[in-house]
């Protein structure tokens, strides 16, 4: 998320709104945002509603066999249309801001 924070001016220039969604509680999400200095919102999905709706549950992949959320990045346009998605099964692998910006730039053309 730090890399997205660093590239916020590039997202802002393209009128892309960066929003993170976490399974953490609202308090934990806001605490993370404040302590790390993130200027974009971090929404809480502590009941896994959004994660399950978007089929992002990685069953039994967490500590002790717990279900966890798969890392994912989405570009959704102002009409709600999904324009690009990056899904991974590895918690350590995430899209870089440059990948998201390139995907946006190619989708706009």
Render pLDDT for 53-71 as a digit per residue (tens, 0 to 9): 999 988 888 889 888 888 8
Number of structural domains the chain divides into: 1
For 8, 16, 65, 70, 108, the CA distances from 56, given in Å and listed in that order, are 25, 22, 16, 5, 26
Render pLDDT for 74-91 as a digit per residue (tens, 0 to 9): 999 889 889 999 988 777
pLDDT grade for 109, boundaries at 50, 70 and 90 = low
Model pTM? 0.84
Whole domain around residue 93: which residue ranges? 2-108
CATH number of the domain enclosing 84: 3.40.30.10
- Angle among Cα 26, 77, 9 to the nearest 5 degrees reads 70
User: Average pLDDT over the chain, rounded to whole?
Assistant: 91
- Angle among Cα 79, 6, 54 to the nearest 5 degrees reads 40
């Amino acid at each position: 998320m730090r890399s997205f924070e660093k590239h916020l001016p590039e997202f802002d220039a393209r009128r892309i709104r960066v929003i993170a969604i976490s399974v953490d509680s609202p308090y934990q999400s806001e605490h993370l945002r404040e302590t790390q200095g993130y200027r974009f919102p971090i929404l809480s999905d502590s009941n896994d509603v959004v994660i399950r709706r978007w089929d992002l549950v990685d069953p039994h992949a967490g500590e002790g066999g717990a279900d966890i959320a798969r890392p994912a990045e989405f570009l959704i346009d102002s009409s709600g249309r999904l324009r690009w998605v990056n899904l991974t099964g590895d918690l350590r692998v995430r899209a870089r801001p440059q990948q998201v910006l390139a995907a946006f730039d190619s989708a706009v053309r």
